[in-house]
Structure 1
Amino acid sequence: MEINNVIIPCQKSNADISRWDIRFQDGKVSQIRPSERPASEPPKLLLPPLCHPHIHLDKAYLLTCNNPISESHPNYSDLIPETGSFEEALLNTSRAKERYTESDLHLRGSQLLATSYNQGVTSLRAFVEIDHVTGTRPLDVALQLKSEFSHLLEIQICVFAQDPLFSTAHAETNRPLLTSTLRNYGPKIQVLGTTPYVEKSREAALLNIDWAITTALHHNLHLDFHLDYNLDELHPPTQPLTFSVIQLLQKHNWLGQADKSKTIVLGHCTQLTLLPNSELRQLAEIVIQSGLPIHFVGLPTSDLFMMGRPNTATACAQVRPRATLNVPSMIKDLGLSACIGVNNVGNAFTPFGSGDPLQMASYGVGIYQAGTVSDATTLYGCVSLLARKAIGLHRDEEDGDVAEGTSLRGMLLIKNEENIKIPGPAWESELLIPARQREGFKDVIWDPPGVELRSIIN
Structure 2
Amino acid sequence: MEIDSPPLVIHNVHFIWDDLNTPYTITIENGLISAIYPTPPPPAHVPYATNINGNHGTVLPSFCQPHIHLDNPYLIHRGPPMVCGSFCEALELTNFSRQEYTEEDLIERGRRLIMENVQVGVTSMRCHVEVDEMVGLKCLEAGLKLKKEFGDEGRGICDIQIAVFAQEAVFIGEDNGVAMRKLFFEACEREGVDAIGSTPYVETTVALAKKNIDWIIDIAMLNKKHLDLHLDHNLSLRNEPLIYHLIHTLKSRSWSTSMPSHLRITLGHCTRLSLFPPYELRQLHELISTDNLPIHFVGVPAVDLYFMGRGPTDGPATGGGATERGTLPVIDWIRNYDFDVALGVGNVGNAFTPMGGVDPLGMAAWLGTVYQGGSQADCRVLLECITTRAKEAIGVMQNQYKDDDRMAISVGDQADLVIVGQRSRDMGVHELFVEPGYGRIVIKGGKIVAKRAVETWIA
The TM-score by the shorter chain falls in which range?
A: 0.7 to 0.9
Q: What are the residue-to-residue correspondences of 1:11-50 with 2, within 5 Å?
A: 18-37=22-41, 43-50=56-63
Q: Is the 8 A contact 2:392 2:399 kept in 1?
A: no
Equivalent residue number for residue 110 of structure 1? 111
Match status 1:7 vs 2:43: no
- Check 1:18–1:437 CA distance in 2 against 1; reply closer, same or farther (3 A cut): closer
Give the Cα separation in 2 of the matches to 1:315 and 1:114. 38
Give the Cα separation in 2 of the matches to 1:256 and 1:21. 44
Q: Is the 8 A contact 2:61 2:409 kept in 1?
A: no
Q: Is the 8 A contact 1:168 1:200 kept in 2?
A: no
Equivalent residue number for residue 159 of structure 1? 164
Shift of 1:268: 0.7
Match status 1:444 vs 2:432: yes
Gaps of 5+ in 2: 1-7, 44-53, 448-459
- Check 1:449–1:211 CA distance in 2 against 1; reply closer, same or farther (3 A cut): same
- Secondary structure of the 1:94 match is helix
Q: What are the residue-to-residue correspondences of 1:333-372 with 2, within 5 Å?
A: 333-372=336-375
Match status 1:179 vs 2:185: yes
Q: Is the 8 A contact 1:47 1:411 kept in 2?
A: yes
Shift of 1:257: 1.2
- Secondary structure of the 1:43 match is strand
Q: What are the residue-to-residue correspondences of 1:155-304 with 2, within 5 Å?
A: 155-169=160-174, 171-183=177-189, 185=190, 187-234=191-238, 239-304=240-305
Shift of 1:455: 2.9
Over residues 161-182 of structure 1, what are the superposed CA-to-partner deviations in whole Å (9 max), with x where a residue is unaligned? 0011123446222111111222
Equivalent residue number for residue 48 of structure 2? none
Q: What are the residue-to-residue correspondences of 1:135-154 with 2, within 5 Å?
A: 135-150=136-151, 151-154=156-159
- Check 1:392–1:438 CA distance in 2 against 1; reply closer, same or farther (3 A cut): farther
- Check 1:198–1:134 CA distance in 2 against 1; reply closer, same or farther (3 A cut): same
Question: Normalising by the residue count of structure 1, what TM-score does the alignment of the two structures yield?
Answer: 0.85
Aligned CA RMSD, in angstroms, stands at 2.5
Q: Is the 8 A contact 2:343 2:390 kept in 1?
A: yes
- Check 1:438–1:353 CA distance in 2 against 1; reply closer, same or farther (3 A cut): farther
Structure 2 residue aligned with 1:453, among 419, 440, 443?
A: 440
Match status 1:414 vs 2:420: yes
- Secondary structure of the 2:356 match is coil
Over residues 229-258 of structure 1, what are the superposed CA-to-partner deviations in whole Å (9 max), with x where a residue is unaligned? 1122337xxx30011100110011101111
Gaps of 5+ in 1: 65-75, 418-435
Shift of 1:81: 1.2
Shift of 1:272: 1.4
Equivalent residue number for residue 421 of structure 1? none
Q: What amino acid does structure 1 have at the position aligned with 2:429?
A: F
- Check 1:298–1:107 CA distance in 2 against 1; reply closer, same or farther (3 A cut): same
Give the Cα separation in 2 of the matches to 1:338 and 1:400. 15
Shift of 1:282: 1.9
- Check 1:397–1:333 CA distance in 2 against 1; reply closer, same or farther (3 A cut): closer
Give the Cα separation in 1 of the matches to 2:350 and 2:21. 46
- Secondary structure of the 1:333 match is helix
Over residues 295-321 of structure 1, what are the superposed CA-to-partner deviations in whole Å (9 max), with x where a residue is unaligned? 111100000001110236999446421
- Secondary structure of the 1:133 match is coil
Give the Cα separation in 2 of the matches to 1:31 and 1:290. 40
Shift of 1:6: 2.0
Question: Normalising by the residue count of structure 2, what TM-score does the alignment of the two structures yield?
Answer: 0.85
- Check 1:60–1:442 CA distance in 2 against 1; reply closer, same or farther (3 A cut): same
**Is the deviation greater in 436-445 or in 96-105?**
436-445
Q: What amino acid does structure 1 have at the position aligned with 2:74?
A: Y
Q: Is the 8 A contact 1:358 1:383 kept in 2?
A: yes
Over residues 378-434 of structure 1, what are the superposed CA-to-partner deviations in whole Å (9 max), with x where a residue is unaligned? 0001011000000101146675544554442x21122417xxxxxxxxxxxxxxxxx
- Secondary structure of the 1:190 match is strand
Give the Cα separation in 2 of the matches to 1:117 and 1:30. 24
Q: Is the 8 A contact 2:79 2:97 kept in 1?
A: no
Equivalent residue number for residue 450 of structure 2? none
- Check 1:278–1:347 CA distance in 2 against 1; reply closer, same or farther (3 A cut): same
Percent of pairs identical after alignment? 36
Equivalent residue number for residue 423 of structure 1? none
Give the Cα separation in 2 of the matches to 1:56 and 1:441. 30
Shift of 1:280: 2.6
